[in-house]
Amino acid sequence: MSLDELHLNLRNLTVEDYPQLKTLMDKVYDDIGGAWPKLTIDKLVQEFPDGQLVIEDDEVIVGVALTALVDYDTFSNPHKYDDLIGSREVILNEPEGDAMYGLDVLIDPAYRGYRLGRRLYEARKELCRSMNLRAILAGGRIPQYHEYADALSPTEYIDKVARRELHDPILSFQLANDFQVKRLLRKYLPEDEKSQGFATLLEWNNILFEPAERVLESRKTQVRVGAVQWQMREFDSVESVLQQVEYFVDALSGYQSDFAVFPELFNAPLMGLQDRAAQQDQMAAIRFLAGFTEQFKSELSRMAVAYNINIVAGSMIEAGEDDRLYNVSYLCHRDGTLERQHKLHITPQERRDWVIEGGDELRVFDTDAGRVGIQICYDVEFPELSRLLAEQEMDILFVPFWTDTKNGYLRVRHCAQARAIENECYVVLCGSVGNVPSIENLDIQYAQSSVFSPSDFAFPHDAVLAETTPNTEMIMFSDLDLTRLTVVRNEGSVTNLKDRRKDLFDLRLRDWSWKSGGRQEEA
């Protein structure tokens, strides 16, 4: 049959289709009893019409998928085919079931080679997602096993098929369609002599499944991020800086952003409130700057609540309880909660001129718009940190930065984009621009703020979702689809996180809580 002669149509099975269905099932299942009785099919169509699929060619049925609703906990454990069947061969469809059970998929032998089975499986998967069901389960026959039963146990046979050393017409097809073997089923279908009564319990997991209690919480999956490419300028007071900050927060909130992001040390121009002579002492100048941090934290937290937006407050200098100086980013939640992330890796300049120290804790923060991490500038150049955050299911990584030259900026940018790809997350890069010669401790600025994505079909071809004009004060928006992260992590062209060779290497964060009286252990 040539492709030009095909006129295929996918639709739901009806009770009027039974004569054609019987003919097809008798042809394909001649070794295990042929077609289901009409009563069985009529009842199944009546109770779960969406789950019964056919492919027809010029109104002749050439492929069928029959499906029932079941309780996942019951049928994800050992069972027999008869557990699905009630009296008079009625299939026990469970209307309140949380999983689909694949009863049959059959293709007319004359139409094999056109991947019609794959088309039916994709339709089943889409139905499973649309109904928010946990999984598709199936008991899979292994009809070639009888040829190897004298030499191989069923588990050895399954393993060889999985490694493609042997081919089984059913199991090989199931594995090629992303089903996983959960266990071996014994005496599943005793009359199946070719499989010698054995079957595989197969599962396709719906990665987008949300339990009912979480659906009711309306967890946000579409997130809008707004970033401020901040112009460094002279200010005559703390109030004037905060006025400029609030102007941007107001603007970003007006566009319904979930996050407002500011650059690293965006309030550094406040060092210019000292006279020029006092600024010559760089350590004193940076401690002077740290004196404004409490006021900024309080005001930014107020803005987060007042404008209903989560604020990633770039970073500011903070004097710790030990009187040492730290570079700290603050996450101001719109519910009033305030959390912090220290810069962990300190640049040579920060260490030499300002005597800044690195923090010890690395955290993922739960927000009402996803799980987020923060790495301040230099930290993003250390891939271990992002991987540790990814292992805690981080969705968005915020990177407030300050770079002076284009090569410094490109170093941060390239590392940030690598983090997005290797950890299958979004990365938001936000920097400052401008030059203020009148302030002693402000270097030149170079920035092009950007938002990066994983690199796969669901994202832009260059994995860049948004970027600003270099060295120009402006705001930038990007809409992030968290559902796409779930899909790419499980079904992407490559799956970096899933495919890690944990048998060869591992990664862990040391626990330094003993510094504040806790235990000294390794996490």
Report in angstroms the alpha-carbon separations of 57 from 66, 446, 450. Answer: 18, 62, 50
Q: In the numeric block, which tokens belong to residue 476? A: 């930038």
Told to judge if 377 belongs to the known catalytic residues of this protein, a careful annotator would answer yes
Q: For the chain, how are helix, strand and coil distributed in percent, rounded to 5?
A: 35, 25, 40
Catalytic residue among 377, 415, 425, 430: 377
CB 10, CB 55: distance < 8 Å: yes
Alpha helix locations (H) across 439-506?
482-491
Strands 325-332 and 356-357, by their bridges, are parallel
Q: In the numeric block, which tokens belong to residue 431? A: 């920097």
Q: In the numeric block, which tokens belong to residue 255? A: 């566009």
Q: From CA 359, how far away is CA 327, in angstroms rounded? A: 8
CB 345, CB 295: distance < 8 Å: no
Told to judge if 332 belongs to the known catalytic residues of this protein, a careful annotator would answer no
Q: Is 262 exposed, middle or buried (0-12, 13-18, 19+ CB in 10 A)?
A: buried
Q: From CA 10, how far away is CA 124, in angstroms rounded? A: 12
∠ CA 475-476-477, nearest 5°, is: 130
Residue type at position 323: D
Q: From CA 69, how far away is CA 50, in angstroms rounded? A: 11
Catalytic residue among 43, 128, 264, 430: 264
CB atoms inside a 10 Å sphere around CB 5: 8
Told to judge if 128 belongs to the known catalytic residues of this protein, a careful annotator would answer no
Catalytic residue among 343, 350, 415, 430: 343
Q: Which string of DSSP letters, residue by residue, matches 296-335?
A: HHHHHHHHHHHTT-EEE---EEEE-TTS-EEEEEEEE-TT
Q: From CA 154, how far away is CA 184, in angstroms rounded? A: 8
CA-based end-to-end distance of the chain: 62
Q: From CA 196, how far away is CA 143, in angstroms rounded? A: 8
Q: From CA 24, how far away is CA 106, in angstroms rounded? A: 8
Report in angstroms the alpha-carbon separations of 400 from 262, 273, 347, 491. Answer: 7, 24, 15, 31
∠ CA 474-290-236, nearest 5°, is: 55
Q: In the numeric block, which tokens belong to residue 491? A: 């079904």
Q: From CA 124, how far away is CA 42, in angstroms rounded? A: 20
| Residues labelled catalytic | 264, 343, 377
